[in-house]
Amino acid sequence: MAETVQIPGLVLTEHEFQVPLDHGNPGGEQLTVFAREVADPAGRDRPFLVFLQGGPGQEAPRPTGSPTGPGWLSRALRDYRVLMLDQRGTGRSTPVGTLPGLSPQQQADYLRHFRADSIVRDAELIREALGVEKWSVLGQSFGGFCTLNYLSTAPDGLREAFFTGGLPPVGLHPDDIYRATFATVLERNRRYYQRYPGDRDRVRALHDRLDAGEITLPNGSTLTARLFRQVGNVLGMSDGAEHLHYLLERDPASPAFAHDVAAALPFSARNPLYAVIHEACYADGHTTRWSAARVLPGEFEDDVTLFTGEHVFPWTFTDDRGLAPLAEAAELLAEHEWPRLYDTDRLRVCEVPCAAAIYAEDAYVDRALSEETARLLPRMRPWLTNEYEHNGLRASGGHVLDRLIALARGQA
């Protein structure tokens, strides 16, 4: 039964739904999917906007009440009720941890069901359970991958679709995608050291300590040089360079440094799906075979001061002891032949009004590849901008969402 509470400026209704782990076997193992309905007190009968969070493996934002919530939410609530979906495996939905008691093959078989296609089928079951004829969706980053799958598989359930930094490539091999993102990350490294030239020597000195095994993370892992390089993932955000600089100015011998590095590492045991499913999210009918590791540019081998970005490697699961229980399953998933996520023919005739914020220098979802996808959709209104980075939805207050709503409705 749904439970409703009121906090300053907002009405929150909490829902739990039962969905099959494998939508091909609806009578099999079941999962709980949690969704929080967020409404303005005067707008509880407004149409639904479903928010699909980035990731994969990260729960929806937790609203704290007006006016302290994110600016985009305040803008959304002028037109909608927002359904904050904790995608399967995250938040208050049935969680995914290290899956103890299962063999590596059983773990891999379980984890195959946590990509965008399964999340969209969950959303459709929830829409039907709530008695909603059509609703709108807003996909941030990986949430945009889910949104494009929605347009491919169940467009009749959608009124509008909005993408922010998450219009994915269609049909490309992950190798091509990672080559593009590595090129962007190299440029982000160049800009970083141009802004903070003194940090290059700091990073070299730090690598000497890492090579000597001198730093231990709070979970007991020895911080390796290659694990530390992954904190460069933050460089794709508008304030990422500053976060990295302030991390590097800490004394590496301090407890604060170890804790802050652990918090900055993108792939961790807190959200294991982010690591174990990450490359599979790009596998639109392909086998990944550790794509990022295979196409890693030689510059990273030659220069220890270069940081990597949103790239997962096989050693991520061995260097971080929190992820080690999933290492063998990750190997099996890297060899798995993943089914298609997107139907090009259906996208070409899709009549759902769409709008997408494409960030010109996005370090996570390549701009040129997003533009190719935008051209597939006849009712897509893309907005190419260099005003924001990948976190533009959050950083812009309500501006990005406001513009997308106007574009989809032909008002801009």
> How does pLDDT run across 391-402, given as a tens digit for each residue?
999 999 999 999
> How does pLDDT run across 105-143, given as a tens digit for each residue?
999 999 999 999 999 999 999 999 999 999 999 999 999
66 has a pLDDT exceeding 90: no
Q: What fold, for 3-169+342-408?
A: Rossmann fold (3.40.50)
Cα three-residue angle 261-262-264, rounded to 5 degrees: 60
> How does pLDDT run across 269-324, given as a tens digit for each residue?
999 999 999 999 999 999 999 999 999 999 999 999 999 999 999 999 999 999 99
Closest-CA residue to 236 (of 279, 286, 271, 191): 191
> How does pLDDT run across 225-278, given as a tens digit for each residue?
999 999 999 999 999 999 999 999 999 999 999 999 999 999 999 999 999 999
CA gap 406, 410 in Å, rounded: 6
Edge-first strand order for the sheet with 158-164 is: 3-7, 10-20, 30-39, 81-86, 48-52, 135-140, 158-164, 354-359, 380-385
Any residues with CB less than 8 A from the CB of 407 and at least 6 apart, and which? 355, 381, 383
- pLDDT for the residue 65: 77
35 has a pLDDT exceeding 80: yes
**Domain residue spans in the chain?**
3-169+342-408, 174-334
Of 20-24, 48-52, 61-65, 354-358, the one with minimum mean pLDDT is 61-65
218 has a pLDDT exceeding 70: yes
State the burial class of residue 239 (Cβ atoms within 10 Å of its Cβ: 0-12, 13-18, 19+): exposed
Buried b / exposed e over 132-141, threshold 16 CB at 10 Å, is eeebbbbbbb
DSSP state of 355: E
Q: What angle, 0 to 180 degrees and rounded to 10, lies between the N-to-C axes of helices 367-374 and 174-195?
A: 140
End-to-end CA separation in angstroms for the chain: 41
331 has a pLDDT exceeding 80: yes
184 has a pLDDT exceeding 90: yes
CA gap 193, 46 in Å, rounded: 48
pTM: 0.96
CA gap 170, 61 in Å, rounded: 28
Reading phi first (left if > 0) and then psi (alpha if -120 to 50, else beta), residue 351 is in: alpha
- pLDDT for the residue 86: 98
356 has a pLDDT exceeding 90: yes
Q: What angle, 0 to 180 degrees and rounded to 10, lies between the N-to-C axes of helices 199-211 and 174-195?
A: 120
Asked if 296 and 182 touch (Cβ cutoff 8 Å), the reply is: yes
Asked if 47 and 159 touch (Cβ cutoff 8 Å), the reply is: yes
Share of residues in the chain with pLDDT > 90 (%):
97
Asked if 314 and 330 touch (Cβ cutoff 8 Å), the reply is: yes
Question: 164 φ, ψ to 5°?
Answer: -130, 110
68 has a pLDDT exceeding 70: no
